[in-house]
């Protein structure tokens, strides 16, 4: 698979000729139908096996092989050139695909209202073949320990049909937000906790959930050990039912990190107790904050660098957003919230507005600005093939368990193509 960044003056047909593929293949892979024209700075996925590389000044077969994980002899053989040849600048070399490591992949899906929308059904059906787990968000714990179910409308069957594990996501959401007070009740009231675990056991048996995923957020710092004790109880029960247990963790960079989001999440304890964790490595750029990349890779790396000192690598799933945000400038704290936007819509909007897409090398994320009909300036940060490939490279470098997406329903076709190109996603049975 190749990533090509559109340059000024380039056309779809010219790009297709350069890679020896049809314009139709590029259009289909990137869902370009309806786009008025290619956008300067737009990243395209070129659907080929392996990739091409054009020789730059100072390159040798050895240096190119080092870059792509191949040998000079192999590159020479594949490209039909002498092993000691001096490479002319501009020569196109074919680079064979690298081995694909095995990982797990999860995706949350969040229905609203009384039923699952057709868009979420379609998104879940399209994504499920690429997933190990499909996670309807969420079963909400009530004050008496019972669980309020989300609408499911066939989501579990979609998962099973694609060989994905249905994940039971349990949260302390109450009245539209994560509740520290509700968390306190769950973690300190024995009767409530007993009822909750009975409910979990019933759902495993009746609904066929094969992973139980606790996403308890904004807990009181003093409930840290209570949360650990609860997870030990839950792990015993869940494992006895033949299922896995997992948790969602705030993105910490130290064990003593202050703040309500962080203090009750004990990385070392979770790493010992549960089968795997999802690190929520996104939302640095968020709807109520200033414009920036949602998951800048330098910040993601900082979290992962700490996490692997506390949690076994084979238990860590890196969180990844499937969305971006469109901010209205100037940003004012407490002012207008940013609008969530899919990567696909971000590109369409850039085309409609006639603006080029830029790329931040530190964050490894695309962005652009435009002026709306009211004369207001907007700043848009989103994901593209380059940003997700950077995350995949980091995942491989660190040898993690896999990746977890928040959330389905916003179009990002390049992600799934590149996921399959980079990895073999494990399917669990039983």
pLDDT value for 429: 65
Measured at the CA of 384, the angle between CA 379 and CA 385, to 5 degrees, comes to 160
Give the pLDDT score at 69.
87
Q: What are the angstrom distances between the C-alpha of 73 and each of 60, 79, 88?
A: 12, 10, 17
- Per-residue confidence (pLDDT) for residue 188, from 0 to 100: 97
Catalytic residue among 104, 174, 217, 383: 217
Neighbours of 42 (CB within 10 A): 24
Angle formed at CA 34 by CA 30 and CA 40, multiple of 5 degrees: 60
Maximum Cα–Cα distance for the chain, whole Å? Answer: 76
Distances (CA, A) of 362 to 293, 300, 316, 343, 388: 10, 12, 24, 19, 14
What's the helix, strand, coil split of the chain in %, to 5? 35, 20, 40
Closest CA to 39 of 346, 378, 361: 346
User: In what helix (H) or strand (E) does residue 134 lie, and over which residues does it extend?
Assistant: strand 133-136
pLDDT per residue as tens digits for the range 172-217? 999 999 999 999 999 999 999 999 999 999 999 999 999 999 999 9
> Is 217 noted as a catalytic residue in this protein?
yes
Q: Which residue has the tokens 């002899």?
A: 73
Q: Which two tokens stand for residue 208?
A: 């066929």
Question: CB–CB of 347/363 below 8 Å?
Answer: no
For 178, counting Cβ atoms within 10 Å of its Cβ (0-12 exposed, 13-18 middle, 19+ buried), the class is middle
Structural class in CATH, domain 102-425: alpha beta
Q: What is the pLDDT of residues 359-403, one digit of tens each?
A: 999 999 999 999 999 999 999 999 999 999 999 999 999 999 999
State residue 361's pLDDT score.
Answer: 98
| 23-30 and 12-19 helices, crossing angle to 10° | 110
- Say what the pLDDT of residue 260 is: 87
Q: Which residues of the chain have pLDDT under 50?
A: none
Claim: this prediction has a pTM higher than 0.85: yes
Which residues does residue 377 pair with via DSSP β-bridges, in sequence order?
Answer: 371
Q: Indicate the SS3 state at residue 158.
A: helix
At the second CATH level, the architecture of 2-95 is: Roll (3.10)
Mean predicted lDDT score pLDDT of the chain: 96
What's the confidence (pLDDT) of residue 298? 98
Q: Which of 266, 297, 294, 298 is nearest to 282 (CA)?
A: 294
The set of residues, in sequence order, having a beta carbon less than 8 Å from that of 283 and lying 6+ positions away, is 294, 295, 321
Distances in Å between the Cα of 70 and the Cα atoms of 52, 54, 99 are 13, 16, 11
Q: Would you kindly state where each structural domain of the chain is located, as residue ranges?
A: 2-95, 102-425
Question: Do the strands 316-321 and 402-406 form a parallel or antiparallel pair, or are they unpaired?
Answer: parallel
Question: Pairing state of beta strands 51-54 and 43-46?
Answer: unpaired
């Amino acid at each position: 698979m190749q990533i090509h960044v559109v340059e000024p003056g380039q056309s779809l047909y010219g790009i297709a000729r350069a890679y020896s593929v049809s314009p139709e293949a590029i259009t289909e892979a990137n869902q370009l139908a309806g786009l008025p024209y290619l956008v300067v700075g737009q990243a395209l996925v070129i659907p080929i096996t392996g990739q091409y590389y054009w020789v730059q000044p100072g390159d040798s077969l050895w240096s190119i092989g080092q870059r792509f994980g191949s040998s000079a002899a192999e590159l020479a053989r594949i490209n039909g050139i002498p092993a000691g040849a001096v490479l002319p600048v501009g020569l196109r070399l074919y680079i064979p695909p690298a081995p694909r490591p095995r990982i797990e992949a999860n995706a949350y899906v969040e229905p609203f209202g009384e039923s699952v929308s057709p868009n979420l059904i379609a998104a879940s059906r399209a994504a499920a073949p690429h997933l190990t787990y499909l996670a309807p968000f969420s079963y909400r714990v009530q004050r008496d320990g019972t669980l309020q179910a989300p609408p499911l409308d066939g989501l579990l069957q979609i998962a099973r049909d694609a060989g994905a594990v249905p994940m039971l996501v349990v949260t302390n959401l109450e009245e539209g937000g994560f509740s520290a007070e509700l968390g306190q009740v769950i973690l300190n009231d024995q009767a409530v906790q007993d009822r909750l675990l009975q409910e979990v056991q019933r759902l495993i048996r009746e609904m066929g959930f094969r992973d139980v995923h606790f996403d308890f957020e904004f807990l009181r710092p003093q409930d840290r050990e209570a949360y650990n004790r609860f997870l030990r109880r839950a792990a015993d029960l869940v494992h006895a039912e033949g299922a896995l247990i997992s948790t969602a963790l705030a993105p910490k960079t130290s064990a003593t990190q202050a703040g309500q989001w962080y203090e009750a999440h004990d990385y070392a304890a979770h790493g010992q107790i549960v089968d795997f964790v999802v690190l929520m490595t996104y939302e640095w750029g968020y709807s109520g904050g200033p414009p920036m990349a949602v998951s800048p890779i330098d910040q993601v790396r900082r979290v992962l660098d700490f996490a692997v000192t506390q949690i076994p690598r084979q238990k860590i799933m890196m969180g990844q957003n499937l969305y971006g945000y469109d901010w209205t400038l100037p940003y004012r704290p407490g002012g207008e919230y940013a609008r969530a936007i899919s990567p696909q819509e971000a590109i369409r909007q850039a085309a409609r507005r006639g603006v080029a897409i830029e790329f931040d090398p530190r964050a490894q994320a695309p962005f652009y600005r435009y002026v709306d009909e009211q004369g207001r300036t907007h700043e848009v940060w989103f994901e593209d093939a380059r940003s997700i490939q950077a995350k995949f490279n980091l995942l491989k470098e660190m040898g993690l368990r896999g990746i977890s997406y928040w959330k389905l329903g916003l179009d990002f076709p390049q992600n799934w193509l590149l996921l399959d190109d980079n990895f073999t996603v494990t399917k669990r049975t039983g």
